[in-house]
Amino acid sequence: MPEDGPGLQWITASSEIRSIRKSGKLYRAGLVFVWVLGGADEAGKPPAVAVVTGRGFSGAVTRNLAKRRVRGSLFEKRELLEPGSRYLIEGRAGVEEADYQLLVTEIESILSRARNCVKKRKPGRGEE
């Protein structure tokens, strides 16, 4: 796993990954699924990201290749990540064989779609 760099934090705890999968909003694409859990109250923090793979891979080598390719494409488009939000990106079977530029384009489209759909939480009654 790459080290946390400026402007990006990695999620490794399985409990947090399950929490994002349960509570986050799902965005689907052909090669990846992205769950986004907005953190309007944590706007000063960098975005947190977890990259996982599903069960459709033949072995550990192809699973790890898929995760590396998804992380690489995410690094190219990290400016689309909202500060304070948590992202779970799941690489689907076939992502390890797909054209890399197609993967980057898909990551860009799904992150921009998620960014446009994230609604900032409005303060409720008694909150300011």
Tell me: the pLDDT tens digits for 5-31? 567 899 999 999 999 999 999 999 999
Paired with 48 in beta bridges are 9, 86
All structural domains of the chain, each given as residue ranges with its CATH number in brackets, are: 26-117 (3.30.230.10)
CA–CA distance, 124 with 128 (Å, rounded to integer): 8
Tell me: the pLDDT tens digits for 42-70? 667 899 999 999 888 999 999 999 999 99
Q: Which amino acid is at 66?
A: A
In this structure, are strands 25-28 and 9-10 parallel, antiparallel, or unpaired?
Answer: unpaired
In this structure, are strands 32-37 and 25-28 parallel, antiparallel, or unpaired?
Answer: antiparallel
Q: Estimate to the nearest angstrom the gap between the alpha carbon of 115 and the chain centroid.
A: 12
